[in-house]
Structure 1
Amino acid sequence: MEFDLPKRLALVTLCLTLAAVGLIETRVHLSLTGPGWDAWAYWDAWRGAMYDGSVGDSGQFLYSPAFAQAIWPLAQTTWPLFAWVFILLNAVGLAWLLKPLPPMLAVPLWLAGSQEVLSGNVFIPMAVVAVLGMPRSYLWAFVALTKITPCLGPIWFAARGEWRAVARAVAATVCLASASALLAPGLWLDWFAFLVDQARLSDTAVGYPFIPGPIFRLPVAVLLVVWAARPGRTWTLPVAMVIATPFIWNGSFTLLAAIPRLREYDSSAARPGRADGPRAPPPSSTSAPTG
């Protein structure tokens, strides 16, 4: 990435400012709750009624039973081990996402995301899915079975007419959900009832009070994806995911960390000779003969 000096200085200043804000917020959270404040809900999900609370309740598990079942073995370990596994995954994931950037930008941006790293939430894994899910659409099942509404990858593929990719994403989600439901049908009924009950919050601000509820933001996110899909503006996908997030907090913006890798993916896919890059149109039947 090449920038002129004023732009470079502005970007570095912005990244350093974000790093300072992120570190302050991280310190506040650590002083109040210790590390893993969001991951606690995942570890604690099996230690009581899974869906007896409400969105916004501290420690309330919100995701599908499939996610709870997937992490069940790890949840049987001690809380410190569980928390640090999630924190380590977030730390490595964020570093990988930011690697295409120059260190003078990547390091402060990683520090800006330190709050999300230490929270143990799944926004960073979702950002990784936004990148790896371009050639491997089945990975979008992870987003569908956790935060649901930011699962915009299949819409991206559908808008581009990539129906095999859509089918793989849907099939993976259905297979995982079906297997999970066979093991714990009661939990799925509880989760559906929980979602229906919490849908009453969809038209109200959840998170920052000045941000409209998800029922208003989701159509905007879908339209953004459809607009960007045909010309292949993959960098807009994490932007749309932020917009579609059920409730937006600072941690939601770590989804934008997928942008450097997606821009790198775009550049790679556009190289001549790449099987997954742009292809020349077939010769027209009205073309003049060449031989």
Structure 2
Amino acid sequence: MHALKGVSFDIEPGEFFGLLGPNGAGKTTLISVLAGLTRASAGRVLVHGKNVQTDYQAARRQLGVVPQELVFDPFFNVREALRFQSGYFGVRHNEAWIDELLEGLGLADKAGANMRQLSGGMKRRVLVAQALVHKPPVIVLDEPTAGVDVELRQTLWQFVSDLNKRQGCTVLLTTHYLEEAEALCGRIAMLRQGQVVALESTSELLRRASSNVLRFKTDQTLPDDLAAVARVTGRVVQLPAHDALEVERILARARESGVLAQDIEIRKADLEDVFIDVMENAAHAQGARA
């Protein structure tokens, strides 16, 4: 079985590109191939025209990767870690940019702190700074806000968005927070079982979604016909509803079944709704081919 199969797409310079998929879809494998950490059995990957296998050093200098895992050297403080990373890429006299990174990522007051003393969120900020310290034109963010607080998420996205808009950096983002991808990414690829199952602009993906979603809370169990199409999280139920007549039909069916709907609201479909639809359709298609 292939971790990736027939994956092919281009990311334009200066683009903010999203790579989405469930766990095990192949996102991190694809990033590992891009970074030269995993060797693809076929095909080729170019970063700014540099082949990641045959011209590894040049390709790697074009790339800054923020991994999922918290990897750090326990013997350095924050500033020393960034200086060491600069030296890895042969970048000298980099103090001004290091200061800007420390300030922009909220690390200025931690510059002299040993890496072991930092919280998980602060360590993740350092990983971002290390990925950016050699000023790469391409930034890869692999689940950069997983398990971190709201403040870090806001700080990170403000800083990275500024790099994208002001300096024209290309950004490749993987995330399970789909509201982030919807807000930040101009174009999105969706992976399932190592294959691209959707590749379109974010706006086009959203246009494909059902027009509305009915949302309410209940303590009762939904009837089977509603449960089959509902997304249920605890007490919260969400159902696709294309128009007012369908909203009324769903609520009437719930009343008939003894389901008390509370805090009823209707919202526009978002990227999470699209993602679920794409994954379900892809599962049916891949199952039919199996």
TM-score by length of 2: 0.23
Q: Bigger relative contact order, structure 1 or 2, given CA contacts below 8 A and separation 6+? A: 2
| Structure with the bigger percentage of helix | 1
Which protein has the larger Cα radius of gyration, Structure 1 or Structure 2? 2
| Structure with the bigger percentage of strand | 2
